[in-house]
Amino acid sequence: MNNLIKGEKYDWEMVIGLEIHAQVKSNSKLFSSSSTKFGSSPNSQVSLVDAAMPGMLPVINKYCVEQAVKTGVGLNAKINNYSVFDRKNYFYADLPQGYQISQYKYPIVGEGKVTIDFKDGTSKDIRIVRLHLEQDAGKSLHDQNPSKTYVDLNRSGVALMEIVSEPDIRTPDEAGMYISKIRSILMYLDTCDGNMQEGSLRADVNISVRKPGDEYGTRCEIKNLNSIKFIKQAINYEAKRQIEILESGGSIEQNTMLFNTSTGKTRPMRNKEEAHDYRYFPDPDLLPLEISEEEIGKIKSSIPELPDELKDKFIETYKLSNYDASVLTADKQTSDYFNETINSDPELKNHAKIVVNWITSELFSLLNKNNLDLNNSPVSPENLGQLIKLISTNEISGKIAKDVVEDMFSTGKTARQIVDEKGLQQVTDQGEIAKVIDEVIADNAKMVEQYLAGKDKLLGFFVGQAMKLTKGKANPKMLNDILKQKLNKKN
Amino acid sequence: MKIDKNTINKIARLSRIKLDDKESEDYIKDLNSILDWVEQLNEVNTENVEPLSNISSSILPKREDVSNDTNSSEEILENAPDKLEGFFAVPKVVE
């Protein structure tokens, strides 16, 4: 695989690391009992703790701790029995405390790794440095008034997991695959809802470029990207910007950048010389967080099957390719749907590849066209299973099946009902097919002559005519065979 | 460690406190005497000793994940100098 990008003068390699912020799925906030619900009216889910009223004390949410441990296990990471909450100090209007409670020196989760799978069947490990728990900030609206910023503290204090990767990523695509994989793991574990549009999952991207084999270059950090598309765009733009500077003899200044989603460009944040003086120190309001091996064991045993385990199982049980299996397990909805479909009839186990194709191509494209997803698919797994069984037993042809599934989609009827009502059963009667072919040969005497004279392409025309007469129901293989036989006899 | 004019200005800026020259001088004096006093701790050998983050031997108390909806935006906004339709209104923050 060649991951290099061409500059004017040299080839360059990108070096990318991600800091992913994932909102913990919980009912209440990390240190207060306010609700975490999204989309409520402004400042309606703010306790005195979240608003940092004097004298308020934080009390940690047990479930958020468990969620972080669960996630750590899912990232194949070391869970730390001892971790500490620190204050990260900075001034901003949506941070009423004047500091964020975070974890600095002793995070709850240490080193781990996740695997990404490429289309060509290869895969790559991305190492995780750490995962720590911290508070989210409130939300600021800057564009409503020329002289005011409006602040909503509903999000203030919601638990976040910050997942930091090593700079192991080399292309924008790998970055996209990495965050998709993290998202998938979080959703299987049910520790984050993965909703990037609502900001439940967002990422800061660290990127530098170097000539292959060189030391790492100076990096820039692009803040707060909330879609995979923007992450890729921002990386591409920023890499190009850095290469242009380096090739014209300049040097990269370490900087924090913002990405403008409408222009597709990055620009440095207003230069705050002291922005990075966070003056971390252990929060005197919180004792260190200690977790026993017993508690960790208990949480581990509650963890459901994860995408990679499920992937291996699919490959083993159904002889699927690594890539097919990774597409199926990319999100829980899809693997659940596949499981239900293939288990709806014992016969289908021998046709797993057909089941995969029908889910990932036909069904996905219908769902896409109608802005639906598997959760509200009008075609249930059982019904899709029934359709695939009709194909595998040669009762209907694959081509007819494509029309049937569209009917199923719009009417909600079962495949069986539609096939029976419309009389779509495949014609597999030799005699009947032969009769139709005779008809076609008789009606197109001239063409038959031309065919026999060497115009092979006409075979397709005869097939088409015969299909038309059978309304597409003739078994294509039988039709082809009988047609060739009959024409050759004429020779 | 000695606190000088630059350091005091930096601390003031980080704390968003405006100091005039007289106040700066006073704080330099005060902080230096505090630091000198604390400096005495350096006489103790602390090699291989983990920093102590808490002197209590109790365990971090935890709550169950239950949300309550007793919060009201009116109460929260009551002391706000400026507000609009349920939002705090603050001087424009760029970026």
**Cα–Cα dist A181/A112, whole Å:** 14
Does A155 lie in the same domain as A119?
Answer: yes
Does A316 lie in the same domain as A275?
Answer: no
Minimum distance, in Å, between the CA of residue A261 and any CA atom of chain B? 14
What is A203-270 written as a DSSP string?
A: EEEEEEEE-TTSPP---EEEEEE-SHHHHHHHHHHHHHHHHHHHHTT--PPPEEEEEETTTTEEEEPP
| Residue A84: predicted pLDDT | 95
Chain B residues within an 8 Å CB radius of A34: 67-68, 71
Which of the four pLDDT bands, split at 50, 70 and 90, describes residue A420?
A: confident
Does A152 lie in the same domain as A212?
Answer: yes
Cβ distance A282 to B58 less than 8 Å, yes or no, reads no
Residue B69: inside a domain? no
B95 touches A: beta carbon within 8 Å: yes
Q: How many domains does chain B have?
A: 1
Contacts of A334 (CB under 8 A, 6+ apart): A327, A328, A359, A360, A374
The number of beta carbons lying within 10 Å of the beta carbon of residue B49 is: 8
Which of the four pLDDT bands, split at 50, 70 and 90, describes residue B37?
A: very high
User: For a pLDDT cut of 90, what percent of chain A falls above it?
Assistant: 69
**Residue A325 is which amino acid?**
A
Does A258 lie in the same domain as A152?
Answer: yes
Indicate the SS3 state at residue A146: coil
| Residue A179: predicted pLDDT | 97
Cβ distance B90 to A149 less than 8 Å, yes or no, reads yes
Range of the domain at B11: 5-43
Q: Which of A300, A333, A358 is the last residue of a domain?
A: A300
Is A203:A229 a contact under the CB 8 Å cutoff? no
Cβ distance B88 to A33 less than 8 Å, yes or no, reads no
Is B84:A150 a contact under the CB 8 Å cutoff? yes
| Residue A271: predicted pLDDT | 56
Strand partners, A290: A82
| Residue A245: predicted pLDDT | 95
The ipTM assigned to this model is 0.85
State the average pLDDT over residues A94-99: 94
Closest CA to A18 of A221, A192, A172, A164: A164
**Residue A21 is which amino acid?**
H
Indicate the SS3 state at residue A175: helix
| Residue A491: predicted pLDDT | 65
Does A91 lie in the same domain as A60?
Answer: yes
Contacts of A276 (CB under 8 A, 6+ apart): none
| In A118-216, beta strands by DSSP E | 123-135, 139-141, 148-152, 159-165, 201-210
Chain A residues within an 8 Å CB radius of B6: none
Task: Describe chain B by its helix, strand, coil percentages, rounded to 5.
Answer: 40, 10, 50
| Residue A429: predicted pLDDT | 80
| Residue A178: predicted pLDDT | 97
Does A460 lie in the same domain as A407?
Answer: no
B81 touches A: beta carbon within 8 Å: no
* Chain A nearest-CA residue for B89: A150
B57 touches A: beta carbon within 8 Å: no
A457 touches B: beta carbon within 8 Å: no
Least confident of A2-6, A8-12, A271-275, A435-439: A271-275
Closest CA to B93 of A13, A197, A149: A149
For B38-54, how does the pLDDT look when each residue is reduced to its tens digit (9 = 90+)? 999 889 998 888 777 66
Q: How many domains does chain A have?
A: 3
Name which residue leads in pLDDT, A318 or A471: A318
Minimum distance, in Å, between the CA of residue B21 and any CA atom of chain A? 22
| Residue B95: predicted pLDDT | 55
Is the pLDDT confidence value at A274 over 80?
A: no
* Chain B nearest-CA residue for A92: B93
Cβ distance A149 to B92 less than 8 Å, yes or no, reads yes
Does A471 lie in the same domain as A323?
Answer: no
Cβ distance B90 to A93 less than 8 Å, yes or no, reads yes
State the average pLDDT over residues A120-128: 93
Residue B92: inside a domain? no
Is the pLDDT confidence value at A113 over 90?
A: yes
What CATH number does the domain containing B31 carry?
Answer: 1.10.20
Contacts of A116 (CB under 8 A, 6+ apart): A123, A124, A126, A174, A177, A178, A181
Does A227 lie in the same domain as A87?
Answer: yes
Helix axes A430-443, A476-490, angle to 10 degrees: 50
A154 touches B: beta carbon within 8 Å: no
Mean pLDDT, all residues of chain A: 92
User: Best of A94, A149, A255 to disrupt the B interface by mutation (most B CBs within 10 Å)?
Assistant: A149
| Residue A270: predicted pLDDT | 64
Q: Which of A300, A321, A345 is the last residue of a domain?
A: A300
Residue in the block written with tokens 């009769």: A435
B41 touches A: beta carbon within 8 Å: no
B60 touches A: beta carbon within 8 Å: yes
Range of the domain at A51: 5-300
For A74-86, how does the pLDDT look when each residue is reduced to its tens digit (9 = 90+)? 999 999 999 999 9
Does A271 lie in the same domain as A330?
Answer: no
What CATH number does the domain containing A460 carry?
Answer: 1.10.10.410
Least confident of A136-145, A178-187, A328-337, A427-436: A427-436
Q: Which of A281, A300, A319 is the last residue of a domain?
A: A300
Name which residue leads in pLDDT, A78 or B10: A78
Query: Residue A474 has what DSSP assignment?
Result: B
| Residue A432: predicted pLDDT | 84
